[in-house]
Chains A and B, each alone.
Chain A
Amino acid sequence: GAGVSQSPSNKVTEKGKDVELRCDPISGHTALYWYRQSLGQGLEFLIYFQGNSAPDKSGLPSDRFSAERTGGSVSTLTIQRTQQEDSAVYLCASSLGVGIGAQPQHFGDGTRLSIL
């Protein structure tokens, strides 16, 4: 598609279960980012990929969170043993590259995660 695609759009799961969130970036975009947005808040950076490697994982809140990217395209964000505080909208963005003057990031519509 033309834009960043995320799935599922909504996910409800029980506390303690693992969840996988998927992001399909814009074709040709080498950089991919994950952000988290809690209710009524701004976006909080989690991790970014350049190709298949993740030079910056500084925003991952705990070791229950992990992400991978394969083939320089699709990325999966995994949350293990979910907790209620993990409830948020998880947004993915992609851009042509990184660095000064890099093209700005374009966002998907997010996955709304609710932990019961």
Chain B
Amino acid sequence: GQQLNQSPQSMFIQEGEDVSMNCTSSSIFNTWLWYKQDPGEGPVLLIALYKAGELTSNGRLTAQFGITRKDSFLNISASIPSDVGIYFCAGRYAGTASKLTFGTGTRLQVTL
């Protein structure tokens, strides 16, 4: 199935550092979502974006819906060990009312 381009694939950072990851699509999206998945669990919603240019924060997390509607980024500030996990972007293409298309994930490792 079709997937978004998500980068980087993995990151090793030190506690306290800021993290940035992004997703790009060749098609226009009308919704961008960011999820975090821990081992053995389902994805948990972090942030939902519904309008081009929208910038939304959830604690130390900030995400933006790109102006072109073809990209989105997620920033994590002052990372802590519990930020470890796999982060997925997901989007809903314009004209698709239902299914989400997922990125390939960014695996985040935080060292003390």
Contacts and interface: CB of A to CB of B under 8 A. Distances in A.
Interface residues of A, number: 29
Nearest to B94: A100
Most chain A CB within 10 A, of B6, B42, B45, is at B42
Chain B interface size range: 20 to 34
Given A91-B42, A104-B33, A42 B103 contact: yes
A59 B103 contact: no
B43 interface: yes
A4 B99 contact: no
Given A59-B1, A100-B30, A100-B31, A105 B100 contact: yes
Contact of B1 (A44, A56, A98, A108): A44
Nearest to B1: A44
B99 A104 contact: no
B52 to A, nearest CB: 13
Interface of A: 4, 31, 33, 35, 41-45, 48, 50, 55-56, 58-59, 91, 93, 98-102, 104-110
